[in-house]
Structure 1
């Protein structure tokens, strides 16, 4: 009996040591890769800026300044989000918002949302996500043209019921077998428009060099 108990304790100790080693490895990998992942996301954000602007503006020699925003209810993240003010001849032509859809099917979805000076959307792009391949990943332009539905859309009222998937009475298509992902993206883009409406002038006046 004593030998059996000792064997069980020995196995338990080995399992505990293995679990500790695995946890330590995950912590170490995360420590050394977190900054690199953040840098990659930032590079993708900069690259995607032109994609969410009107083509004419994107092709021009525009100027840009940055504003750092923190608004978890409307921008989906308690961390700082960057807003880029795109200008020509000292006049703001568009704002590009970094935002998060926190309620995607497989976690947070990072987005860029371009908003024209008249409050209409110039473009939306997904910067990072973990949605299911073949279903939720249709939010990517290389998978489908779904994201282009936002172009030129705007809020006509605070309770604009069009901002929902058709299944919920709105105007946006969903994906067969994957409604959670488009719902999350639509909600996030709509929230950006709410934030833009309330803060546009402050952002333009307070923006500084990036």
Structure 2
């Protein structure tokens, strides 16, 4: 009798576990489109910070391409193209600084067609030291806005470094590695755009958003 009771309880527990796992899987599947939609909406808000609305009349998130180039970092990066009345007006480049103090730092860099920086933002999460390296975040410091208006000629090539290295950009007290990494990544993003501007605007857009996510965003 005891053995039968143990077997029966084991079967019941097994069926309960299977049922719970199935319910979790179904819930996860059902919420994935909404989670992805929320992520996309957060991205749209971030893009607007470095590519102002008055500079384009297209939807940035749907006019994007995917590229791979060491100047932008390892792996695939997206470039979001801004257009006004059908004509190119700028881009937002994803770029990665691989040499941050706490590891890689992901950035978005808004640039007009003349190669002038419109804005830069660090994309969370990152592992830079709280109170020091995290000053790359706009909510912690206005340091990231010092890139606004900069270009490959303002400053010149030698000026694209922190002042400790003879360049034009301030670093943080007690933290030089993080700003050095970000300055280098923004500089490389500008070099990439200078060398590939024509191809960037001619390439067909990449639409890799699943139908389920588009439906969730419309809902």
TM range (shorter): 0.7 to 0.9
**1:68 match:** 66
Cα deviation, 1:60-89, whole Å, max 9, x if unaligned, reads 633431111001x20112x21000011011
1:97 aligns with 2:93: yes
Question: In structure 1, what is the equivalent of residue 130 of structure 2?
Answer: 133
Query: For residue 56 of structure 1, what is the aligned residue in structure 2?
Result: 54
Partner of 1:112 in structure 2? 108
CA contact 1:114–1:122 (8 Å) conserved in 2: yes
- Asked if residue 151 in structure 1 is aligned to residue 148 in structure 2, the reply is yes
1:41: Cα distance to partner? Answer: 6.4
Counterpart contact for 2:66–2:206, Cα < 8 Å? no
- Partner of 1:3 in structure 2? none
**SS of structure 1 residue aligned to 2:140:** coil
Match of 1:173 among 170, 188, 210: 170
Shift of 1:159: 6.6
Return closer, same or farther for 1:48/1:157 CA change in 2, 3 Å cut-off.
closer
SS of the equivalent of 1:190 reads helix
What is the rounded CA distance, in whole Å, between the counterparts of 2:192 and 2:93 in structure 1?
A: 10
**1:130-161 deviation line (CA, Å, top 9, x unaligned):** 10000000000100000001001000299711
Aligned length: 172
Q: Which position in structure 1 is the counterpart of 2:194?
A: 197
Structure 1 gaps, min length 5: 1-31
Query: Does the C-alpha gap of structure 1 residues 162 and 55 become closer, same or farther in structure 2, counting only changes over 3 Å?
Result: farther
Number of the residue aligned with 2:80: 84
Give me the whole-angstrom Cα distance separating, in 1, the residues matched to 2:183 and 2:133.
Answer: 13
Give the conservation status (yes or no) of the 8 Å contact 2:160–2:183.
Answer: yes
After TM superposition, the score normalised by the length of structure 2 is 0.72
> Which structure is larger by alpha-carbon Rg, 1 or 2?
2
- Please, which of 202, 206, 209 is the counterpart of residue 203 of structure 2? 206
For normalisation by structure 1, the TM-score amounts to 0.75
Q: Tell me, in whole angstroms, the C-alpha distance in 2 between the residues paired with 1:81 and 1:202.
A: 15
- Residue 44 (structure 1) shift: 3.8
